[in-house]
Amino acid sequence: MSTTTKTNQNNQVFALWKRTSKEGKTYFTGKYEEAEVRGFYNSKKQNPKEPDLRIYTVDGNKNLSKEELSSLWCNVSEKTGKKYLTGKINGKRIVGFINDKATAENKQPYISLYWSEDQAEQKTTEKKSTKKEEAVSESDPF
């Protein structure tokens, strides 16, 4: 099964930057909507059905939420041999692309996550219908 995604800013969900803790462990930071997020490799993974990366939101006191925002699985493209990630947020499919050239110096995200193509099309349709509703409500005060 192949996943095709039009990677543009309209269907980007969020991006993650690679960081290293004082203890030398890798983690990821980013923002989803208005929430700060942290991602961690699943160091306890014991079978392929378990995710490779777990994403959590962070509260104002920098505490992780107990519930995951998303779980991501690493895959390898049959066409290019490159790694990519798949998962879901709120039941909607996402796909993530890894930027091996990202460094702290160039400030590029290490992982960019997008709605999968079918989710992006649905989101565009939802935006169009919302704009129509707004136009009606602006022209019709009742």
Convert the pLDDT of each residue in 97-141 to its tens digit: 999 888 878 789 999 999 987 654 554 444 443 333 333 333 222
**Full residue range of the structural domain in which residue 41 is found:** 12-116
Report pLDDT digits (tens) over 119-129. 545 544 444 43
Phi, psi of 8 (to 5 degrees): -135, 170
Domain membership of residue 136 (yes or no) is no
- Residue whose entry in the numeric block shows the structure tokens 């409500």: 137
Residues with Cβ within 8 Å of 33's Cβ and at least 6 positions away in sequence, in order, are none
Total number of domains in the chain: 1
pTM for the model: 0.74
Q: Which of 106, 110, 108, 103 is nearest to 84 (CA)?
A: 110
Look up residue 44 and give its two tokens. Answer: 């306890």
Residue 4 belongs to a domain: no
Please name the residue that has the structure tokens 């290490």: 110
Q: Is residue 38 part of a domain?
A: yes
| Cα-only R_g, the chain | 18
